[in-house]
Every structure is written in C-alpha cells, then in structure tokens.
C-alpha cells in the first residue's frame, strides 16, 4: 500500500491560437494508502491531465509527485520516472484493449514487458481472470466482447501485475446505466480486496459520492474542495461545489430574496443578504399552503421519479426545484408556499463564491 | 431509346473500352511472344503459337535473364522493406509525439517528392561513383528507398492516425517503451497499410528505369527494365520475339503479387483513407 502525494502541481499547454493555457494550477493532494480517491469535475477541468501526469504519460510544468517513499516526478529536481518505472496501472474510458491480441494476451502484455516467465504469466492472468469472472473469455478478441466484458478485461489488465497505484479514467462512462451501477459496486469491492491506492476520475458526481473514500472537486484546473463524500455534500466550501454535487442540484438564488420573504427568517450571524447568494437543496424544501411559506411560488411542473417527485416551482421568474415524497399529491399551475428550516440554508459570498454559512 | 438503356450502354462501353485500351499492348506482347515469326511490324496471316521464344530467353545463359530478375527482386524487396520501415518510424513520431511544427515533416517530404527525378541524376551518379557503388545493388536500393519514402510516409501516416492514441498510453503505462509500442502494437495493427505500402514501393522500384540505367553497367546489378532495353543493342537485328518473351517474364512477379494481395492492397489504401 502506497501513499500518493501531489505537491503544488502545475501544467501549462502551449497552443498556437490561444497561447499558454493553464490546465492545472497549484494542485496539492494526498491519497492515503489503500484509499479510493475520486477526482470529480466538469469535462475539460484538468482531471484527466492530472491522472496522466501521475501515470507518467505527461510531464508537469511545475510541482512534484511521490508514490510511497519514491519521488516519481519533480520539476525542481529535474526528475522524471517514465511510466514503466512507476509501477502504476491505468484503465481508460475507451478501455484501450489491444485489438490484435486475445484477452489472455492483453492481460499478459504488462507481465511480458516486465519479463515474467511463461508459467508466472499464465498463473497471474488466470488469477486475475478468476477475480473478474472472465475465465471463459480468455481466447476471445476484444472485438467479440460486449462493453461490460471489455471493461472487465481492461480492469484485469490493470490489476494483473498488482500495481502500486491504480488509476481509473472514467472507466464506467461507456457502459449503459444498469451495468454501470452494478460495475460500480464490483469495482469498489475489488479495490477493497486488493487494497491498492486508487485515483478515480469522473465527471459524474453521483459516481464520486458512491465510490470515493475521499473526493476532490476540481474546476478549471483548480482544486475546489477535498474531503469525504459527506463533507462535499453537506459542507461545500463554495458555490461551485454546492451546485455541482447532488441530483437535482442545489437551488442557488439571489440573497436579496431573503428580504422579500412573506415571513422573516432569522439567521443569526448575517444581517445583510444583498451581497450574498443563498443555496437550498431540493430535499430540504417543504411545500406549504401559499400564505404560510417563506415565499409564495407557482407550481410549474411535476416530474415523478418513482418513490420521489421533483416539483419545478416558479418564484417570480426563478426556477426552484423541490424534492418530495411521491405520495403527496399536487396540482400544476397552483400557488404554493415554500418553507425550509434555517439550519439547511447555505449562504455564499456573491463575489468570491465562498460559503459564509 | 430510353435513358436507362443509354446509361447501360455507356457503362458497358466504359467497362469494355477502358480495359481494352489498357490491355492492348499486353495482348500484343503476348501475341509476339508466342509467335513463330515475330516481326510485329508486319501483319501475320498464319499465327501458330510456340513456346520457343520463352524457352530461348530462359535457357540462354548469355542473356542473363535470371540475373536481371534476381537483381530486380532483391533491389525492389529491400527498398520496399526499408522505405516502409523508415516511413513507419517517421509516421509514428508525426502522429504520436507532440512537437512544434511536426506537420512540416510530411509536407516537406511531399514537396521534395515533387522535384523531377532527372534533376538529381548528375549528383546521384557522382555520389555513387565516389562511394564506389556503381553496379552494386546498394546504388539502386538507396535512391529507391528515398524516392519510395514520401508515398510510404503518407500512407503510413493515414493508417497510424486511425489507431487510437489511448492504445499508446495504455502500453506506456503497461511498461512498454516507444519502440516496443511501435513494433508490438502499432505495426501489427497497421499491417494492412504496411503491406500495401510495401507492395507499392516494390512495384515502383521494380519498374524504375532511369536510375537503373545510369547506375548499373552489367548483369551483376542491372534490373529487368534496363535489361530489356539493352537487349536490342546487343544483337544486330531486333529479336522481337525474345524481347517480348523477357517482358512477359518480367511482368510475372508483379502480376503474381497483385493477384495474391489484390484485396489487401485496396483494403489498405481505402482503410487508411476513410475508416478506422
């Protein structure tokens, strides 16, 4: 088990049209030994670049990375270990299976490159195939496999040599929804059993919350917040994290609305809401009779989701989503009241986006 | 006559006339080769086929047909393999490595390939003379490889570009070096393209006349096209039957290759262009 430490990492790309582009900026991260660490952010935020740098496929512009007690890259010390000397394994969104090799040879490839003996290779490949339940597929070519099976083979090729670090770049994104959910659970089980330090990149915040022991939210090359799934969900540090995590997303509204309420809501430490933005999670909002709520709004649309339903409200031109139990009956285009417990109110500084409360 | 019928007739004409036009010289060649009185300037009334001309050229050691054939095959094969190999290395770096101005490499190669070949003849001769390579296979292999490279490079680039870069990344992380990636992943996947490249350079080298004429002096390195051309000069009269018999023999290897690999050549050329 190896700790991964990333210090002050920066990556610039030079482009002809736009000049220097900063893909990563002063990224500091620690992944505990054996932890399942998830990097989540919108596409183009630099998360895959970060993963590539850890793998050694790309070189950083500044900063250093340690895997265990070994420094694998440091710009200041002019040190760069190529991927083969880092002992990391990686699974790609496209699976990147070698099309001209059968499953057995795909999984054997890293071992063969490392110079293992034939018996050793065969033993390890079969053991990994056993773990992933793909023993019947060893003779098949990648083209003959389904998406889920390819996914397993890609994972098998990664774990077959028992790497120090496992890197996963959106490995479930190409699977259909049902398969994705079941693979998610299996992935976590395998990771636990192998106890390998893992960095998992995804744009799907649900996936991040389900899988991660710890989560880092990244946007435009800047780390927004690092913490446990609960930290990220319940105590977002800024407006971006608050709005990014959660389905449906948090309702972010202008702070001025607090002055226009039907009923005064008492918030201890904030007097003036004019320079703030407020956030309320859909599940923290309650529907009341029109006159009793904090605000009065119109029920625009009802979207049932099995056990729950999403209510889209129109609050003087702004949309608010409320999540309620499906058993409650509402009628569209009727006035309703919105109420909430002040404890659940998030307040952000309008300018910096930082959470005040 | 309605329009579809007209279309059909035009298509049939195109399908018949064009091949006939292309194949006519070959037909004539065969005719003369198998003729008893092979004076192809006079119309022959009574055509009686014979294998005598073929037997003559194949068995007469003073004609050196087998030496020419061997030289041609050797020079063409080595040039084709070398051009494809170097084009592969270059195509890999152009399609995979990020360095500024990498597009200039294939463009520059393309530009150089447009110079008329005759323009380098003088210098090439001096070079080969000073290397003492005149009348050696190497004197032909070097220019054939060089001149085959532009075509080879462009075909290889179009094939390599179809191979997802994720495979390179995966192999890198799996511990492979760049050369291992090239030989164990990229080349096997681009095999149809590499094969069509080899064949095209082979055919080009096999047909080449100008450099072979200039850089060889006798049968130790002379290739078949020059051999045929020189044939007339050796004897007083023009033994057309023998000339055509040699031409038939010369065509055979290329014909054989084309017949065997025809599907793969087209596959390779088309695949690189449109699909992955």
pLDDT score recorded for residue B211: 93
The confidence score (pLDDT) of residue B273 equals 43
**A276-280/A335-340 β-pairing:** unpaired
So what's the pLDDT on residue A274? 85
Q: Which CATH superfamily is domain A251-349 in?
A: Nucleic acid-binding proteins (2.40.50.140)
Percent pLDDT > 70 in chain A is 100
Instruction: Give CA–CA dist A330/A197, Å, rounded.
Output: 48
CB contact under 8 A, A84 and B172: yes
Give the residue with greater pLDDT, A261 vs B209: B209
Inter-chain residue contact B173 with A167, CB threshold 8 Å: yes
Confidence (pLDDT) at B235: 56
Q: What is the distance between the alpha carbons of residues A87 and B173, in angstroms, rounded to a whole number? A: 8
Contact B270, B64 (CB under 8 A): no
- Give yes or no for residue A270 having a pLDDT over 60: yes
Tokens read off for B141: 């292999």
Average of per-residue pLDDT values in chain A: 92
User: How, if at all, do strands A251-254 and A295-305 pair?
Assistant: unpaired
Domain layout of chain B by residue ranges: 3-52, 55-274
Nearest to A51 by CA among A154, A203, A153: A203
> Which of A72-76, A149-153, B32-36 has the least mean pLDDT?
B32-36
Q: How far is A102 from chain B (nearest CA, A)?
A: 13
Give me A32's structure tokens: 């505990």
Domain boundaries, chain A: 4-244, 251-349
Asked whether residue A125 carries a pLDDT value surpassing 90, the answer given is yes
The model's pTM is 0.82
Q: pLDDT value at position B272?
A: 45
pLDDT of B270: 59
Residue B173 to residue A113, Cβ atoms within 8 A: no
What residues 131-190 of chain A have any CB closer than 8 A to a CB of chain B? 157, 167
Q: For position A215, what pLDDT does the model report?
A: 96
pLDDT of residue B275: 35
Q: Nearest CB to B166: which of A56, A94, A167? A: A94
Which of A129-138, A264-273, B56-65, B181-190 shows the lowest mean pLDDT across its residues? A264-273
pLDDT of residue B274: 40
Q: So what's the pLDDT on residue B276?
A: 34
A297-319 residue pLDDT tens: 999 999 999 999 999 999 988 99
Confidence (pLDDT) at B38 = 61
Q: Is the CA virtual torsion B50, B53, B58, B59 positive or negative?
A: positive
- The answer to whether A236 and A277 are in contact (CB under 8 A) is no
Q: How many CB atoms lie within 10 A of CB B9?
A: 11
Q: Is A94 within 8 Å of chain B by CB?
A: yes
Handedness of CA B40, B42, B43, B46 (dihedral sign): negative
How much is the ipTM here?
A: 0.85
Domain B55-274 has CATH 1.50.10.10: no
Half-sphere exposure of A104 (CA within 13 A, CB side): 11
Helix axes B191-207, B65-96, angle to 10 degrees: 140
Taking the Cβ of residue A70 and every Cβ of chain B, the question of whether any pair is shorter than 8 Å is answered with: no
Read off the tokens for B25: 């010289």
Altogether, the residues listed in chain B come to a count of: 276
pLDDT < 50 stretches in chain B: 272-276
pLDDT one-digit tens code per residue, A324-345: 999 988 999 999 999 999 899 9
B170:A167 CB<8 A: no
Q: Is the distance from CB of A72 to CB of A66 less than 8 angstroms?
A: yes
Q: Note the pLDDT of residue B136.
A: 93
What's the whole-number mean pLDDT along residues A30-37? 95
CATH code for the part of the protein at A4-244 = 3.40.50.300
Nearest Cβ partner for B169 among A92, A110, A114? A92
- Render pLDDT for B61-108 as a digit per residue (tens, 0 to 9): 888 888 999 999 999 999 999 999 999 999 999 998 877 778 888 899
How far is residue A233's CA from residue A229's CA, in Å, rounded to a whole number?
A: 6
CA distance B136 to A241: 73
Q: Is the pLDDT of residue A18 over 50?
A: yes
Interface of B with A (CB under 8 A): 100, 164, 166-167, 169-177, 180, 184-185, 188-189
Nearest to B170 among A56, A82, A96 (CB): A96
pLDDT digit string (tens) for A186-199?
A: 999 999 999 999 99
Q: What confidence category does residue A212 fall into, taking pLDDT thresholds of 50, 70 and 90? A: very high
Give residue A43's pLDDT: 87
As a whole number of angstroms, the distance between CA A304 and CA A300 comes to 13
- Pair A241, A224: CB distance under 8 Å: yes
Distance, CA of B266 to CA of B192 (rounded, Å):
9
Nearest residue in chain B measured CA to CA from A94: B166
Q: Which residue is listed with tokens 């809501």?
A: A265
């Amino acid at each position: 088990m190896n700790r991964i430490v990333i210090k002050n990492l920066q990556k610039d790309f030079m482009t002809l049209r736009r000049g220097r582009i900063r893909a990563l900026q002063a990224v500091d991260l620690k992944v505990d030994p054996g932890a399942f660490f998830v990097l989540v952010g919108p596409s183009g935020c630099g998360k895959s670049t970060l993963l590539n740098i850890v793998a050694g496929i790309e070189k950083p512009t500044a900063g250093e990375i340690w895997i265990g007690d070994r420094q694998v890259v440091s710009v200041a010390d002019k040190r760069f270990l190529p991927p083969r000397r880092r002992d990391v394994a990686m699974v790609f969104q496209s699976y990147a299976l070698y099309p001209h090799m059968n499953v057995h040879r795909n999984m054997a490839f890293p071992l063969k490159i490392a110079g293992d003996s034939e018996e050793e290779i065969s033993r390890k490949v079969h053991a990994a195939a056993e773990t992933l339940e793909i023993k019947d597929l060893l003779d098949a070519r990648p083209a003959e496999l389904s998406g889920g099976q390819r996914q397993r083979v890609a994972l098998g090729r990664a774990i077959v040599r028992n790497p120090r670090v496992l890197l996963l770049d959106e490995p479930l994104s190409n699977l259909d929804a049902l398969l994705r959910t079941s693979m998610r659970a299996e992935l976590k089980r395998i990771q636990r059993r192998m106890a390998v330090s893992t960095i998992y990149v995804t744009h799907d915040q649900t996936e991040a919350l389900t899988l991660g022991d710890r989560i880092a939210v990244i946007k435009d090359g800047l780390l927004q917040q690092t913490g446990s799934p609960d930290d990220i969900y319940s105590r977002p540090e800024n407006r971006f994290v608050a709005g990014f995590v959660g389905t449906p997303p948090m309702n972010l509204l202008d702070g001025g609305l607090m002055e226009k309420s039907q009923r005064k809501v008492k918030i201890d430490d904030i007097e003036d809401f004019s320079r703030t933005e407020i956030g309320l999670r859909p599940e923290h909002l309650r529907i009341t009779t029109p006159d009793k709520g904090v605000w009065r709004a119109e029920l625009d649309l009802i979207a049932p989701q099995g056990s729950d339903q999403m209510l889209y409200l129109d609050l003087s031109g702004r949309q608010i989503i409320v999540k309620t139990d499906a058993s409650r009956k509402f009628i569209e285009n009727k006035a309703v009241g919105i109420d909430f417990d002040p404890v659940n109110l998030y307040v952000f500084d309008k300018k910096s986006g930082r959470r005040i409360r | 006559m309605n329009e579809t019928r007209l279309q059909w007739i035009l298509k049939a004409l195109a399908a018949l006339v064009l091949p006939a036009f292309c194949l006519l010289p070959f037909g004539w060649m065969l005719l003369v080769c198998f003729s008893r009185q092979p004076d192809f300037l006079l119309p022959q009334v009574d055509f009686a086929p014979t294998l005598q001309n073929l037997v003559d050229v194949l068995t007469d050691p003073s004609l050196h047909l087998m030496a020419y054939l061997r030289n041609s095959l050797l020079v063409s094969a080595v040039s084709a393999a070398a051009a494809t190999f170097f084009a592969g290395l270059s195509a890999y770096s152009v399609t995979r490595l990020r360095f500024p101005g990498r597009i200039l490499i294939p463009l520059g190669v393309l530009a150089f390939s447009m110079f008329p070949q005759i323009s380098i003849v003088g210098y090439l001769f001096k070079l080969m003379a000073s290397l003492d390579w005149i009348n050696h296979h190497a004197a032909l292999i070097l220019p054939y490889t060089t001149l085959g490279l532009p075509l080879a490079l462009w075909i290889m680039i179009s094939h390599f570009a179809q191979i997802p870069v994720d495979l390179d990344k995966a192999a890198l992380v799996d511990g492979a070096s760049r050369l291992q990636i090239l030989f164990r992943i990229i080349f096997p996947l681009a095999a149809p393209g590499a094969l069509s490249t080899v064949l095209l350079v082979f055919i080009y080298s096999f047909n080449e006349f100008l450099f072979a004429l200039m850089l060889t002096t006798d049968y130790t390195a002379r290739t078949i096209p020059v051999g045929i051309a020189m044939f007339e000069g050796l004897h007083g009269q023009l033994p057309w039957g023998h000339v055509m018999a040699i031409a038939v023999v010369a065509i055979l290897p290329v014909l054989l290759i084309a017949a065997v690999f025809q599907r793969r050549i087209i596959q390779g050329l088309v695949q690189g262009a449109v699909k992955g």
